[in-house]
Structure 1
Amino acid sequence: MYKIPGHHHISMITKNASQNNHFYKQVLGLRRVKVTVNQDDPSMYHLFYGDKTGSPGTELTFFEIPLVGTTYHGTNAITRIGLLVPSEDSLGYWKARFEEHGVYHGEITTYANRSALKFEDPDGLRLVLLVSNGEKIEHWETWEKSEVPAEHQIQGMGSVEMTVKRLEKMANTLTELFGYTEVSRNDREAIYQSVNGEAFGEIVVKYLDSPSEKPGRGSIHHLAIRVKDDEELRFWDEQVKKRGFQSSGIVDRFYFKSIYFRESNGILFEIATDGPGFIVDGDVEHLGEKLDLPPFLEDRRAEIEAKLSPIEEK
């Protein structure tokens, strides 16, 4: 059986692409690796941030919806994103940086058994920096032009938190379908890892019996988990269907191929291939500098560009 090697990307909703762009590039020091559009609704931006090439496991992606409303937090939702940083010293660096830039944050604490610093982006998206203790995605690459020194740069996604009404249902999906290992459990919370001992494939599942979250600005749309190639994706498509879930079938996103399904609590998962990646239509030096469209949208470029507001570079 194939193993899931970790997270691929995670997708959120932002109200303002220019504000989002400033925060993730200038404040968090990530590289904007792709400016494109939502392929299902090309009237909205789809922005990708990550390491030097936007490699799998480092990608934070955002759909811009200018008229989006407020998020009303609740259950049956993805509720926090962990980002890995190299050391305890890095948390001190980031706390000072957040204070300098007026970023809402907490005190240095622990989260999922790691030293941590919780914070929020301008949309109210809940994030947490986690000390990696040497763990990082093996293909992560330093971004030399980052606003953040190399020794403190974010090294990709860590623990992803999901809050659900039916914890056992989520547990069964992660362990029985995908082969995750349960590493801790109590009445209110359980932690699962796709790679034993590694945060970059970790999911923290919390139990909450409340109304379901109403998504809005700063809410998390879906989590994508990694597979190597088309063959593995076809395998997982069959496994998802065998469990009784409704699969989207394989969707070609040009930069990767995917399937989508909702598990029993209604949380949307994507399963995405590692390749071909973001350099399929651009060179490494100039990633994210212009609007890129997949070939099947290229003949609509003029129409699409006319509906998009320019992203301000602050």
Structure 2
Amino acid sequence: MHKLNGHHHISMLTKNGKQNNHFYTKILGLRRVKKTVNQDSPSMYHLFYGDLTGAPGTELTFFEMPVAGRTVRGTNAITRIGLLVPSFESLLYWQERFQELGVEHSGLTSYAGKDALFFEDHEGLRMVLLNHQGKEAPAQWQTWDGTDIPEEHRILGMGTIEITVRYLQRTVNLLKDLFHYSVVEDDDKEAILQSSEGEVHGEIVVKELEGPSEKPGKGSIHHLALRVSTVEELRQWEDKIKERGLESSGVVDRYYFHSLYFRDRNGILFEIATDGPGFTVDSAIEDLGKELDLPPFLEQKRADIEAILEPLD
């Protein structure tokens, strides 16, 4: 059986696409690699940010929901996003940048055994910058030059993802037994697992917390997508998920990748997504994210869709 290749992307809710675009491109220095719409509800933006090409493992994606209220934090939710930066000096750079730009942040600390700087975006989405200690990043990651962030301090891609659940072992066992994650740490209230042992770009921290489930809103995390290479592998995982007694969406063609969705027994929504064909299927690398791109089945509705969406730039 194939193993998962780490994180593919992670998807959140935002109340305002224009403000969201400003934070992730102008403050975090990520590239907007795809401006498209929610394929299931095309009246709302679906925005993708990442590296030069939006390579798997670098993508932060947002659904714009103008009616979104505030998030009421709780359990049974994906609760924090780790982003890798090259060095400890990078954390110092970002601490100063956040101070200058008025971004809510902590002092330098540690998280999951790594030097860390906690921060929140303008809607309260919880994130943490993690020191990658000069280690080599995945081969497909390429930082983007169209930012004012010095190359030696740019965000590389996704690191540790935190999931908070009411019943710890339900999620730990899924990752360990079904997806063959390695257990790095496991105690009564917290576990750390990795899709490839020693590699933080596939690391998940699972924490146990009693109480009511999170009520999602702006700045909440909708789902975590895990990475596979091909549609053939995806169909094999579809069968394995079914054998475990879980329901899935079946394989869905998202044009830029194929994926399937399922919830674990704590209600956490996971996606499994293929590497390709990727965001250059309908756009040259130099033009990524500039125009509204639509999958072919929505192209005939372009005029109606563009009339609804507020310009981002």
Q: Tell me what 1:263 maps to.
A: 264
Alignment gaps of 5+ in structure 2: none
Shift of the alpha carbon at 1:137? 2.1
Q: Distance in 2 between matches of 1:135 and 1:177?
A: 28
The reply to whether residue 190 of structure 1 matches residue 168 of structure 2 is no
Within 2, Cα distance between the matches of 1:188 and 1:263?
Answer: 18
Partner of 1:67: 67
- How far apart, in 2, do the equivalents of 1:135 and 1:126 lie? 26
Partners of 2:61 and 2:136 lie apart in 1 by 22
Name the SS of the counterpart of 1:41 in structure 2.
Answer: coil
Q: Is the 8 A contact 1:16 1:65 kept in 2?
A: yes
Matches within 5 A, 1:97-176: 97-133=97-133, 134-176=135-177
Give the secondary structure class of the aligned counterpart of 2:247: coil
Q: Residues 9 and 60 of structure 2 are in contact (CA less than 8 Å); yes or no, is this contact kept in structure 1?
A: yes
1:244 maps to: 245
**Mapped pair 1:226 → 2:227:** yes
Q: Which moved more, 1:133-142 or 1:40-49?
A: 133-142
Deviation at residue 145 of structure 1 after TM alignment = 1.1
State the shift of 1:246 in Å.
0.2
TM-score by length of 1: 0.98
User: CA shift at 1:255, angstroms?
Assistant: 0.1
State the identity as a percent: 63
Task: Report the Cα distance in structure 1 between the residues aligned to 2:20 and 2:279, rounded to whole angstroms.
Answer: 20
In the alignment, structure 1 segments of 5+ residues that lack a partner are none
Q: CA RMSD in A?
A: 0.6
> What SS does structure 2 have at the residue aligned with 1:71?
coil
> Aligned equivalents of 1:100 and 1:259: distance in 2?
41
2-side partners of 1:161 and 1:27: how far apart? 23
Which residue in 2 is equivalent to 1:296? 297
Distance 1:49 1:160 in 2: 17
Q: Please, what TM-score do these two structures have when normalized by structure 2?
A: 0.99
Q: Does 1:283 align with 2:284?
A: yes
- Paired amino acid for 2:44: M
- What corresponds to 2:42 in structure 1? 42
- TM-superposed CA distance for 1:136, in Å, is 2.0
CA distance in structure 2 between the aligned counterparts of 1:289 and 1:276, rounded to whole angstroms: 19
Deviation at residue 244 of structure 1 after TM alignment: 0.5
Distance 1:55 1:6 in 2: 12
Whether the 8 Å CA contact 2:7–2:227 is kept in 1: the answer is yes
In 2, Cα distance between equivalents of 1:39 and 1:137: 29
Residue type matched to 2:128 in 1? V
